[in-house]
Structures are given as structure tokens and as C-alpha cells.
A and B are shown apart, each in its own frame.
Chain A
Amino acid sequence: MKVCIIGAGVIGLSTAQSIYQHFHDRVTPLTIEVYADVFTPLTTSDGAAGLWQPYLYDKGNVQETKWNKETFDYILSCLRSPESVKMGIFLQSGYDLCTETVPHPSFKDIVLGHRELTKRELAMFPGYSYGWFNTTLMIEGKTYLPWLMDWLKQRSVTFHQRKIDSFRELADSGADVIINCSGVRSGELQPDPDLQPARGQIIKVDAPWLKHWINTNHFSSSGISPYIIPGSRLVTVGGVFQVGNWNRMNSSADHKEIWETACKLEPSLQHARIVEDWTGLRPARSKVRLERETIQSRPNSFEVIHNYGHGGFGMTIHRGCAEEAARLFGEILEQKGLLTHPRSRL
């Protein structure tokens, strides 16, 4: 059984991990290969600040809330392990700011210590009249992805630097199941009008006195909704979400607006040293595409599991989706009669 995963961002790598964990001792042989044209530190996941936070409201998408919670609980349990620092995970508290009073978010009971901000706290953020304080997780892509790759390499998962132009290409070379974790460029493999880039630009800053993340939620305006997220080394400052913009180059106009807005939000930033800018394209979609597809390819057919379209919450939802993708993979194995039941004890 050969599984080929397209994409080596957080989605591709974590899916490989879940498939290995669930099936390496139930399918023999199980060959897992990862194909991608970019690997860490050049993937979209690497640029993300890594703050665990879904969008405020799931709009009825209870599946996504379930996958988010699964990811949070899983990473929280990993904090106790000696690997936690190598995984790039840690807790951080912070402020979610709103310009008006709004209902509680979908993740209120998933994160730790979620509560409304007091008047004195709001006084620190002029222009914002409501918000929440909570403690959540950080999952730093630049550390988490190399950790995942090491984990997989130790278990004989192989990596191939190559751009895949079609699913058939992999099917023809022997793939039994293809897992499409190609993120924002999935449309090149199979047209998807629902998938769009949501361009983000960030500024990495040296400001080690900042110990809280600040996230804003502007409901009425377009443009900048600033955020300031301290990492283990640098602080990520950002706030643009430009749907339909494929430009991977840093824009100085965006830089200026992001910087000015962030300094208003956090005056102490004014003396911080700017290190670099980075631009990434979030794979935005109305909802995550996580489903099977059987593709007819005379004389046979092959199986594809799609796992893409995680927008700005890839790190937040990755584990839940990886486990679901593994479950779908299990379905395929069952259907093909390949799943051996665990050996009975003699």
C-alpha cells in the first residue's frame, strides 16, 4: 500500500503522521511518501505566527470546531512531554479586542481561562470597547515542521522535492492513495472556485518585553485588523487579509500601514528593532475540503483524500483534520480488504 501526500506544510506532514500512527502496524507494507516543491522553512505554515485561534464564529461548521478542539487538546497534552520545546509549542495569554460587544466565540470553552476584559484593561486599548482575555497555545511552524519531518524520517517516511502537476502523475507511478494537502495551489491540481488566496503580510520584530498576544477583530471595516503575537524569539506583527491577491512580494505600503496601526495599539513597539517582512497566502475557502474522491482513470480508478482550504487556521486545526484524513484512509483500506485486524493473543 503506497500513500503519496502532496504538500509538506503543517497539513501534509501531520496527515502523514496520523496515517503512520494508526496504520503502520495494520497494513504491511505501508509506504508513505511526501511530495512537495517547498519544504520548511519556505512553506506558508513557516510564516504563520502559530497562535492557536479559530475564527470567532464557526457559522454552524461544528465539524471544524471539533477538529480545532481536538488539536488544542492534543497539543496541550504534548506540553508535558520532554519534546515540547523541540516541537515549538508553549502557552501564551493575550487579548482579543473588538470594536463592539459581540457574542462569545466558538472556542470559549476550549482555551484556558476565557473571560471578558475589565474596564481597566480596555482602557489600555483606545478604540476598542469590548474583548476577552484567555490563555491559548502557540505552535511555531519554523520549529514544529522540522520536528514533524524528523519524526517522519525516523519512521522511514520519504520526502521528494518535486512539483506534482496532476494526481494521475502519482497514480501512474504506483500510488494507491493520494492525499492532497497542497494548500492554496490546489486549484492547479483540480479547479476549485471556492479556493482563494487570502494574502497576509507580517513584520518580524525584536521586542522581547512583550509577553502577551493582541488580536483585533474589526467587523465593519476592511483593510487592517492588526495583531501582535510574540514568539519564542521574535514578535510577529500583522493584520492584512487580502482575498484574491496572489502577490507573494512584500508591499511597502502594507508595511507602513501595518506598522503604524500596530504602534498605536502597542506604543512600546516604537523602539523595537524590525528584523524582516514576510508575505504568505492563506488557503481560504468557505469551509475546509476534507473528503474522499474516487477518480476514474481507465482502466482503474484511484483514491484521493482532499485535505486543504484551512485559511488562516491551519496550525489551529491541523491535528483534527489529520486524524479525520486518517479515518478516511482507514475507510479506503476497509473497502479494499487490506485492513488486518490486530493479531489475537495466543
Chain B
Amino acid sequence: MKRVKVLVIGAGVVGLSTAVCIAETLSYCSVTLTAEKFSPDTTSDGAAGILFASEFPDVPLERQQRWFKETFDHLLAIADSPQASDAGVFLCSGYQIFKDVPCDKKPFWSDLVLGFRNMTHHEMKRFPNHKCGQAFTTLKCECLSYLPWLEKRFREAGGQIRREKVTNLQKVYQEYDVIVNCSGLGSRFLVKDEEVYPIRGQVLKVNAPWLKSFIRDGDGKTYIYPGIKYVTIGGTRQANDWRLEVDKEDSNGIMERCKQLEASLQNAQVIGPWVGLRPGRANPRVELEYLYVQGRHIPLVHNYGHGGWGITLSWGTALEALDLVRRSLIEKPPRARL
């Protein structure tokens, strides 16, 4: 039987996760992953990788919870295994604190992380400028380790890698039976989706190995995430800002705000800054489209637009993309429009 040829575009956390899911599950598929950038040069590589989500306006809550839960459970199993250090996945506890917003409303993922509760009065004493907070244990997934680990898994499942930027889908239609688009911000150009826009984020990597817990301000602009080799402090959320250059004022602002939350950072040696462009979109696009090209119906599965929650939703959306690929191969494609 002729093998079904699948092309996955994009080698960030979403692309690699999706490629692994397809290669490991659909034995009748031969999967190729193509991308311009690979680890350590993807957006995913600079992300702190703390599993944490924000609510999307138009996706049913049950579906968002499923995305989160499937990723969390998948990564928790890795964290609790001998693979943890190779994959760069581990448990991390900490606080999310709020200056103004009341903490009564529990986020949709509160039952999906571990030990979610409100902070005690004693705990809040450390943060005199904040009114309340939430304490919980979640996972951290460091893509500098996780992406190479996924790539290894992909190759072991028979996957092929092409280091090549796809600028025109027309060219790849001939060679493949199914295309999976995980090109993140690149979808703005590749599939002409104007709803995708960059949300610029700058962070500082610092050496502070005595910090073991994360602290995040509920406004999302100030956070301290202890990692394996360094602590990531941040950040910025600058919509429609395409600059990949480091902004010195941003660096100063980050350090000042983070020192307010954690005084000992004044003794931390700064290793360096990093800038990434989150693939912003009102909602992630995880859906199946059929393209009619030269007498053929080619399934095009989209899995992009995860904003700042790519790692958090990676496995869950990858599983959904896998499902769409499977469905597209079983279903009859819709009849051509006359």
C-alpha cells in the first residue's frame, strides 16, 4: 500500500509536537518536517516554558481545558520519569499575585495544575504592593532541551527533516498528500492570515540558582521563572512590534520590576537578554481546510496562533491536529465547487 506523505511545516514546539504525534500514531504515514528555523533558533527556545494559560474568547472552554490537560498530563509523565532531565521538563511551584483584580474567580485550569489555592496572609506579606495571590504547582518545559528530545523521537518514528523555508504552498502540494501548517507567526505570510500578529516579548536570563519558585504578576508583564541553567525574568507584551533587537529600556524596566518582587535579584549576574515574537491571534487556529489544486483535494490542517501559550497547549493541540489529519484521510473530501 502506498504510504501517505505528510508534510509538517514549522519546527517550534507546536510543529515538532504535531510531527511526533502523527509519525508515532499513523504508521501508514511517512512524515517530513520542514522549517527554516530549528532549535535553538525558534521562538519556543527563548520561552520560559511555564505551563500556564489565558482564556481565549471564542474557543469552547471544554476544548481549551482539553488542550491544557492533555499537554499537562503528557509532560507530567515525562517529569516523573528518567527522561525528565534530557527532555528539560520538571515541576515548578510558585505564585501568581495581583495588585488590583480580585482572586475570587478561579481560572479554567485551576483543577488541571497541582495544589491550586489562594495564598495565605503570611505569604502575601512578602508582596506589600499586591492584594492577593494564587499558589500552585505546574510544569516547566524548556524547549532548548525539549525540542531536540522531540526531534530524536520524531526520527526514531521514521520522520524525515528538511531544513528549508516554505514560502509558497503551491510548490509543496505536488509532493505531499497532507500538509500540516504549524508555522506560527509565519502563517501571516504563508496562508495570508492577517489575524496573526507579533506580540513582542523581551526577557533577561540571569544567574540566581538560589531561586526555586516562580513569581508572576497577574498583569503578565512581570515574572520570574527559575529554570535549569538560569532564571528567566521578564517581560514585555508589545502588540504588532516586529523588532527582534534588544531594547535597553525594556531590560532596565524588567530588572526594576522584578527586583521589587524578589530583592535578592540585585545579587544576580545577568547572562543576557533575549527577544521573541509570540504568534498572537485572538484564538489559535486548529482546523481542517481542503485545497483544490490541479484536480486534487489536499487536506491542509492548521495548528498555529497560540500566542504566549504555545508550550502550554502544544501536545493537546498536536493531538487535535493528528485527529484532523486522520479524519481527512478517512473522510471523503467535499465535492469541488462548480
Contact = CB atoms under 8 A, between A and B. Distances in A.
A290 interface: no
Contacts, number: 94
Given A211-B226, A212-B91, A135 B114 contact: no
B90 interface: yes
Contacts of B213: 91-93, 135, 211
B212 A113 contact: no
A161 B80 CA distance: 47
Contact of A268 (B82, B137, B210, B267): B82
Nearest to A93: B93
B296 interface: no
Interface stretch (A117-125, A152-160, A185-193, A298-306): A117-125
Contacts of A211: 90-93, 212-213, 226
A208 interface: yes
Interface string B273-317: 000000000000000000000000000000000000000000000
A112 B123 contact: yes
Interface in B107-136: 114-115, 117, 119-120, 122-123, 135
Contact of B212 (A92, A267, A268, A272): A92
B80 A230 contact: no
Interface residues of A, number: 35
Contacts of B122: 112-113
Interface stretch (A25-33, A76-84, A275-283, A321-329): A76-84
B263 A80 contact: yes
Interface string A302-325: 000000000000000000000000
A315 to B, nearest CB: 16
A271 interface: yes
Contacts of B263: 79-80, 82, 84
A121 B114 contact: yes
B81 A267 contact: yes
A209 interface: yes
Contacts of B76: 124
Nearest to A80: B263
B115 A268 contact: no
A64 to B, nearest CB: 21
Nearest to A207: B85
A115 interface: yes
B25 interface: no
A232 interface: yes
Interface in A239-262: none
Interface residues of B, number: 36
B192 interface: no
B209 interface: yes
A85 interface: yes
B149 to A, nearest CB: 12
Contacts of A210: 90
Contacts of B114: 118, 120-121
A124 B79 CA distance: 10
B229 interface: yes
A86 to B, nearest CB: 8
B85 A82 contact: no
Contacts of A86: 267
Interface in B209-228: 209-213, 226, 228
B86 interface: yes
A268 B135 contact: no
B85 A271 contact: yes
Nearest to A269: B82
Contacts of A80: 263
A270 B86 CA distance: 11
B119 A113 contact: yes
B211 A90 contact: yes
A133 interface: yes
Given A82-B267, A85-B264, A211-B91, A271 B209 contact: no
19 contacts: A82-B263, A82-B266, A85-B267, A91-B213, A93-B93, A112-B123, A113-B119, A113-B120, A135-B93, A209-B228, A211-B91, A211-B93, A212-B93, A232-B210, A233-B209, A268-B80, A268-B82, A268-B83, A271-B82
Given A208-B209, A267-B84, 9 more contacts: A86-B267, A91-B213, A93-B213, A121-B115, A209-B88, A211-B90, A212-B91, A267-B81, A268-B90
Pick the 10 closest A-B CB pairs, nearest first: A268-B84, A90-B210, A270-B82, A209-B90, A85-B267, A232-B210, A93-B93, A92-B212, A211-B212, A271-B85
